[in-house]
Amino acid sequence: MSENQNKVVLTGTVINVDMKNEKYPKYTVKESGNAEYPMTITFDCNSSKIQTLPLKGDNVEMSGYVGSREWNGRYFTGVSCVYCKVLQKHKTIVPESVNTAGQFAENDEVPF
């Protein structure tokens, strides 16, 4: 099989980050654009080889290679990430009504 035949490139939004194994996190990316049925792919990453690890909500371009292994008569397929570029960081907006640290510092009473 040619190297280009199993390559996957996807531009989209990170919708899930699985950090059960911190060295090999899994990022689920949903395709952006005008697709009627957007593709969702989970990339297996090696955190030591990715320069900027994305966060949930970031717009990214990820590429990797599809691979499959056989174990006890069952086949397991995954996409190994080889490149990740964060195109736009997710912006967290904090509403004004949210309490910030130290707001009750002058009054030690519990605010309820």
Of 44, 46, 38, residue with least CA distance to 79: 44
The whole model's pTM is what? 0.69
Query: CATH number of the domain that 41 lies in?
Result: 2.40.50.140
Residue 111 lies in a domain: no
> Would the CA dihedral through 41, 46, 51, 55 be positive or negative?
positive
Whether residue 86 contacts residue 57, with contact meaning beta carbons closer than 8 Å, is answered with no
Which pLDDT score is estimated for 100? 53
For the chain, the domain total comes to 1
Whether 18 is in a domain gets the answer: yes
pLDDT band (50, 70, 90) for residue 39: confident
Q: How many CB atoms lie within 10 A of CB 11?
A: 15
Residue 39 in domain: yes
Domain carrying residue 15: 3-88
